[in-house]
Structure formats: C-alpha cells, structure tokens
C-alpha cells in the first residue's frame, strides 16, 4: 500500500483515540485513567518486539528516560485539559506543537526559520487567538485574558510545549542513538508506564485503578489500542515518505476530532471552530513543507 494510506489510517484511528479518551475522562480522574490506559499501551506495544533492535549504546537510555519524564507530565496535563474543556476547543491547540518545534529546532538544532515558517507560525498564533475569542471580537484583549484565566487551556499549551521538546529529542535520538524506531517506541512507552504507575501508586493506590476500570469498563483498553495503532501507522508512513508529506495528513485528524467529537459531545460553535482549525492546519503545512 502507498504511504498516504497509512497516514490517513493513522489520522482516522487518532480521532477514535481522542473521542474515546474524552469519554473515559468524563468518568474518571485523569491520573487514574492514564495510568491504566498506558499500562495497556505497553501490553499492545509488546507486539513490536519482533521488529526491535537492541544493539545500541545503553547510555542512551538516560536521555530516553528524560524524554519519558517530559512525556509523562505532558500526558497528564493534556488529559486534565481534555477532561474539563470542550474537545473541539482544546484539540486545535495541538497545532501549536509544530510551531514550538520549529522555534526549538532553530534554537538548539541550528535549523533556519524562513519567511514561510514565520508565516505559518503567525497563522497558528492568530488562529489560536481567534479560537479563544469565543465569538467576542469587540475587545481585542479579551481572548488573551481568556487564555490566561483558563488554567486548562494553559495546561494544554504547556503540554504541547513539553511534547515539542520530546519531538526535538526524538529526532536526535532516532537519528543518532536508538535508530530503530520500534525499539525507541517500546522503550519510551515502557518508561512512561513505569513513571505513571509509580506516581499513581503513591498518590492513589491500586484501589483507585480498580475503581477506574469499573467506571470506564473497556474504555482504557480501546483507547490504548487506538493510540498504539495510530502511532504505529504514523511511524510506518514516516518510514515510506518525508515528514513534510505525512504530518499535514496526520494533523488533519484535528478536523475530524472537532467535527465528530464536537457532535458526539454536543459542543457549541462547531462550524466556527472547524474553520479556525482549518487555518491552523494551513499554518502547520507552511511550517513543515
């Protein structure tokens, strides 16, 4: 099959992942759900072991663990945002991640920011500003005040920034240290699972994990399955084509999340949020190509 089939499938299953994740988070605390969900992620990730290669410098595991710590915090803060805010309002803010990556890569990896990249970042920032306006354009300061007063929007922006640092470190690690993407994928998620479950054990205990499973039933398993499937399909498409081709298709999942997630949870202003999301994805496209 062609690379774009895997990229489209990745976007499709990522939509299922986010919608079901939101459904589960409405029934359970973010920490409880994510610790259970990520446990099942590792179980499903065992299927990639036949494709792994462990002949790498084991000192690289130190950096991999640092990446996992950043990802652990990012996942927790993103989940708290998803739990308390509209899916159609929070999801488009994920386009800030490529903008953060472009700036971080310019600072730490020596990559240049051209006119096209600056234009893309500007479109994303302006679109995020418009998105947070909530239809109130009479006061230009109001959207900024809204963002600053909305701790869950700030949580998600903070999470996106952490994920951006992870992406820059991922690029370095896969390019120079642990070059087998399946090995790196398994190691990172194993570390994330250890982090989450150690923190969860001391903060809540096993009883809360059992309560979470009773409340959410099969949702942690389904969410874990769709997240792993989406990630592996994304990695497969990346192995067949340039990231500049794959990423815009994968980011199109935001439109699906806003449309179907917004409909499923009966959220307001969907057309407005859908159009704003389209402009944000345009900004992503300009940054990446």
Which pLDDT does position 19 carry in this prediction?
A: 95
The residue-averaged pLDDT of 150-162 equals: 91
Which pLDDT does position 38 carry in this prediction?
A: 95
Number of domains in the chain: 1
The residue-averaged pLDDT of 146-152 equals: 77
Which pLDDT does position 137 carry in this prediction?
A: 56
Share of the chain above pLDDT 70, in %: 94
Parent domain of 159: 3-288
Asked if residue 52 lies in contact with residue 183, where contact means CB atoms within 8 angstroms, the answer is: yes
Q: Which residue has the higher pLDDT, 1 or 213?
A: 213
Tens digit of pLDDT for each residue in 34-93? 999 999 999 999 999 999 999 999 999 999 999 999 999 999 999 999 999 999 999 999
Tell me how crowded residue 268 is: count the other CB atoms within 10 A of its CB: 12
pTM summary value: 0.90
Maximum Cα–Cα distance across the chain: 60
Of 283, 69, 99, 251, whose CA–CA distance to 166 is shortest?
Answer: 69
| String of DSSP letters for 164-188 | HHHHHHHHHHHHHT---HHHHHHHH
Residue 199 in 3-state DSSP? Answer: helix
Angle, in degrees to the nearest 10, between helices 270-288 and 115-131: 160
Tens digit of pLDDT for each residue in 187-235? 999 999 999 988 888 888 788 888 888 999 999 999 999 999 998 898 8
Tens digit of pLDDT for each residue in 234-264? 888 877 877 767 888 888 899 999 999 999 9
As a whole number of angstroms, the distance between CA 77 and CA 31 comes to 9
Q: How confident is the model at residue 138 (pLDDT cuts 50, 70, 90)?
A: low
Which pLDDT does position 140 carry in this prediction?
A: 65
Please report, to the nearest 10 degrees, the dihedral formed by the alpha carbons of residues 214, 216, 219, 221 taken in order.
-30
């Amino acid at each position: 099959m062609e690379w774009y089939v895997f990229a489209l499938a990745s976007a499709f299953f990522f939509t299922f992942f986010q919608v079901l994740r939101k459904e589960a988070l409405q029934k359970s605390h973010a920490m409880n759900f994510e610790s259970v969900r990520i446990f099942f992620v590792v179980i499903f990730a065992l299927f990639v072991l036949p494709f792994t290669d462990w002949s790498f410098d084991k000192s690289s595991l130190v950096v991999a663990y640092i990446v996992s710590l950043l990802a652990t915090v990012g996942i927790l803060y993103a989940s708290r945002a998803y739990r308390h805010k509209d899916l159609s309002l929070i999801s488009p803010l994920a386009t800030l991640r490529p903008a953060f990556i472009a700036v971080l890569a310019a600072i730490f990896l020596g990559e240049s920011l051209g006119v096209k990249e600056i234009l893309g970042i500007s479109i994303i920032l302006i679109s995020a500003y418009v998105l947070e306006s909530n239809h109130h354009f009479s006061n230009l300061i109001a959207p900024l005040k809204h963002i600053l007063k909305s701790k869950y929007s700030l949580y998600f922006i903070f999470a996106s920034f952490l994920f951006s640092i992870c992406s820059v470190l991922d690029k370095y690690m896969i390019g120079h240290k642990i070059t087998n993407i399946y090995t790196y994928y398994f190691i990172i998620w194993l570390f994330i699972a250890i982090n989450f479950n150690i923190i969860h054990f001391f903060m809540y205990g096993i009883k809360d994990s059992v309560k979470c499973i009773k409340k959410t039933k099969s949702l942690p398993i389904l969410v874990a399955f769709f997240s792993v499937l989406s990630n592996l399909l994304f990695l497969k498409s990346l192995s067949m084509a340039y990231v500049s081709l794959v990423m815009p298709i994968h980011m199109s999942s935001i439109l699906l999340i806003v449309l179907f997630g917004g409909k499923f949870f009966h959220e307001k202003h969907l057309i407005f949020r859908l159009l704003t999301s389209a402009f944000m994805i345009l900004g992503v496209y300009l940054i990446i190509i």
